[in-house]
Structure 1
Amino acid sequence: MSKGKVLLIGSNATRIEVQGGGTGATGQYLNETVVPAMAVIAAGYEVVLVTPDGTKPHIDEASDSVDHFGGDKAAYDRAKAFYANDPSMNRPRTLRSVIEEGLDNYAGVFVPGGQAPVVDLMQDPDTGIVLRHFHERAKPTALLCHGPIAVVSAMPHAREFRAALIAGDAAKAAERAKGWQYAGYNMTVFSNTEEKVVEDYILHAKLYFNMVDALTIAGGAVSTTNVDFEPNVIEDRELITGQNPRSDHPIAAKFVAALDRAAAAA
């Protein structure tokens, strides 16, 4: 018997804006999606995949590699098979449909990374509704790598905040962030130096803003590791954030523990 249902909010973005005009290829990271989802299911919960438009997220080709599974070919193959075949990954729903059905049925919410959430989820009104619901009820809310940028969607003027960041107007962005539910929370996100690696070697272009800067301007208490791509997970109240792809297993463990604590307290 299931312990409860957990929302996994995926992105539908496949391109991200870059400086100088144009876009670069993007998507959701395979390990960041699958490792936590498999851990949640193994712990006895159901996973319900939701996206803004109700279609399955595109996996970023940069993440489709055994390297993101510690070189473990068997783990990589299991992840690929899980994403391709498991019912939880192949019955995506719209965010709007689960909102209309009622969010009280869900025990927690998880948002994986890849740069895709920077495009849609951080300014998506339905993502904001979901995150506000979980925040107000102090239900486990976990976000990984670029995923933590999705918490911006909870602010009253998320789209204007993002537009101000793209315009390079930090003061205007800070003004638009007023009333943000997560101001003052300790959190982490993909670091500026980690982002430079992706910009230099994968995107071959620069993004308009870094995740650390964005969440700091919004009012978050952001910290990252001194060494790039070292696992790092920060838990503050209901919010659990992981810094980078290598934080996949640690954030999965902390998220499951938080779900179990919440279930025991209910």
Structure 2
Amino acid sequence: MSKAKVLLIGSNATRIEIQGGRTGATGQYLNETVVPALAIVEAGYEIVLATPDGTKPHIDEASDTPDHFGGDKAAYERAKTFYANDPAMNEVRTLRSIVEEGLDNYAGVFVPGGQAPVVDLMQDPDMGEILRHFHERSKPTALLCHGPIAVAAAMPHAREFRAALIAGVPAKAAEWAKDWQYAGYKMTVFSNSEEKVVEDYILHAKLYFNVVDALQTAGGQVITTATDFEPHVVEDRELITGQNPRSDRALAGKFVAALDRSLAMA
């Protein structure tokens, strides 16, 4: 018997818009998905994986390396095996089916990163409905690296907000973000200087907007580290956010602790 169910929300995006009207390859990061997932399972919770279209998230090739596991090849191989074979990572639901089934069945929600959530999750209406449910009930809500951009989906005009960011009209984006549920929350997300590393060495192109700027435009109090790629987690009320891939373990620990506290209070 598990303590409770935890919803893990993945992205289905495999391409992201880049300046010049082109797209670059993207996906979900392996360590950001599996390290917290394993910690959640090992703490006695059951994971249910869901995505917008109900298919398994694509792992970004840039993350498919032992480097993102501190060079630990055994940990990397364990993660690959877990993601490839464990039923929790392969019995994928649609976000819509999760909503229709009833969100009261879940004790918490976790969204990993990779740039993919910037494409679909931040403007997905089912993602928004899920977030509003967890926010209104103060249930633990954890998001890692680029994952925190998904909280934009909770606003009533998430698609218009994103379109304004791509069009380079932040003032209009701020108007679309009015009454955002997470305005005033302290949070973190992949920093602008960290994003530049990805743009220069992985995408070889510029993105239309940075996630830090997007969340600040919406009203979030974004806090990032002075040094790139240092573990950093911010917890404010039910919201737990991690800045970058190296924040995977720290975020997992805080999320499990929040789940345990929430269950103890129920």
Q: What is the TM-score of this pair, normalised by structure 2? A: 1.00
Match of 1:133 in 2: 133
Residue 212 of structure 2 is aligned to residue 212 of structure 1: yes
Which residue does the alignment assign to 1:189?
189
Matches within 5 A, 1:60-209: 60-209=60-209
Q: Secondary structure at the match of 1:56?
A: coil
Counterparts of 1:83 and 1:225, CA distance in 2: 30
* Residues 22-57 of structure 1: CA deviation (Å, up to 9, x unaligned): 100000000000000000000000000000000000
Unaligned stretches of 5+ residues in structure 2? none
Question: Alignment partner of 2:81: what SS?
Answer: helix
- RMSD, aligned α-carbons: 0.3
SS at match of 2:113: coil
The one-letter code sitting in structure 1 at the alignment partner of 2:21 is: G
Which letter maps to 1:211?
V
User: Following TM superposition, by how much is the alpha carbon of 1:104 offset from its aligned partner in structure 2, in angstroms?
Assistant: 0.1
Cα offset, 1:199, TM superposition: 0.2
- State the alpha-carbon separation in 2 of the partners of residues 43 and 87 from structure 1: 17
Q: Which secondary structure state, in structure 2, belongs to the residue aligned with residue 229 of structure 1? A: coil
Output one character per residue of 1:159-190: Cα deviation in whole Å (capped at 9) or x when no partner.
00000000000100000000100000000000
Structure 1: which 5+ runs fail to align? none
Which amino acid in 1 is paired with 2:261? R
**SS state at 2:56 partner:** coil
Q: Distance in 2 between matches of 1:155 and 1:168?
A: 19
How much does 1:21 deviate? 1.1
**CA distance in 2 between partners of 1:219 and 1:196 (Å):** 23
C-alpha distance in structure 1 between counterparts of 2:92 and 2:257, whole Å: 25
Distance, in Å, in 2 between the alignment partners of 1:202 and 1:98 is 34
Are 2:55 and 1:55 aligned? yes
Name the CA distance, whole Å, in 1 between partners of 2:90 and 2:169: 40
Q: Aligned partners of 1:154 and 1:147: how far apart in 2?
A: 14
Q: Distance in 2 between matches of 1:246 and 1:69?
A: 8
The residue number in structure 2 matching 1:258 is 258
Match of 2:233 in 1: 233
**Which segments of structure 1 move beyond 3 Å, counting only runs of 4 or more?**
none
Letter of the 2:201 partner, please give it. Y
**Aligned residue in 2 for 1:14:** 14
Specify the code of the residue in structure 1 equivalent to 2:155: M
Shift of 1:3: 0.3
Q: Figure out how many residues of one structure are paired with residues of the other and give that number.
A: 266
What amino acid is aligned across from residue 124 of structure 2 in structure 1? D
Q: Deviations over 1:72-110 (max 9, x none)?
A: 000000000000000100000000001000000100000
Cα distance in 2 for partners of 1:119, 1:171 equals: 21
Task: Please give the secondary structure, in 2, of the residue aligned with 1:96.
Answer: helix
What secondary structure, in the 3-state scheme, does the structure 1 residue paired with 2:235 have?
strand
